[in-house]
Amino acid sequence: MRITIGALMISTLVLSSCGGWRDSRVNPTNWFGKSRETTNTVDENLNPLIPQEEEKTNLLGRKDDKGEDRSLPIAVIKDMRIERTSVGAILTVEGEAARNGAFDAKLVPADPQEPGQLEYTFRVTYPKKATYQGTVATRTIRAAVSLSNQDLAGVRVLRVVGKENARETRR
């Protein structure tokens, strides 16, 4: 009985000294900090009124919608989380669309990538027909992407860009 109580006392003392592990840089759950809002850089030479490409038409002169990417950057990035897994991490982003009905949410990798930085654009597709703006709850959309350990090798900054803002987290 004395050995059991002694072992229990020693294990309690050892476990109570491990409180610093939670805030340690060695702890894998602390590899990325909390996300914070940053400014979004916009190309000032880009004129949104001038089309970048010619419109494709079919034999009857109608617009050809096949293969056309109608997705746009989401209006506001509200939250970004990265959760470690056994094979890498899962990047989860929550955004607010400009109006109701947005669908096909995806995180598209930016091209080209800067060294040490992994950047994604949060894109959604809006319906062709006009929809109401609605409440914030009905416009909130989430998207996620799985990142392997190879994808995260050498990455110091994870950044997600929207239309009005961007969020990033650093190691």
Q: What mean pLDDT comes out for the span 78-98?
A: 94
Confidence grade of residue 24 (pLDDT, cut at 50, 70, 90): low
Q: How much of the chain, in percent, has pLDDT values that exceed 90? A: 47
Q: What residues does 169 pair with on adjacent strands?
A: 158
Planar angle of CA 156, 46, 114, nearest 5 degrees: 15
Report the pLDDT value the prediction gives residue 23, as an integer from 0 to 100. Answer: 66
**Nearest CA among 116, 101, 99, 97 for reference residue 168:** 116
Residues 71-80 have pLDDT tens digits of: 899 999 999 9
Q: What is the pTM assigned to this prediction?
A: 0.64
**Nearest CA among 79, 73, 80, 130 for reference residue 101:** 130
Task: Report how far apart, in Å, the C-alpha atoms of 158 and of each of 24, 31, 34, 53, 142 are.
Answer: 21, 12, 11, 31, 17
The yes-or-no verdict on residue 10 having pLDDT over 80 is yes
Distance CA 113, CA 42 (A): 17
The yes-or-no verdict on residue 108 having pLDDT over 80 is yes
Q: What mean pLDDT comes out for the span 18-43?
A: 70
Report the pLDDT value the prediction gives residue 105, as an integer from 0 to 100. Answer: 94
Could you tell me the end-to-end alpha-carbon distance of the chain, in angstroms, rounded to an integer? 48
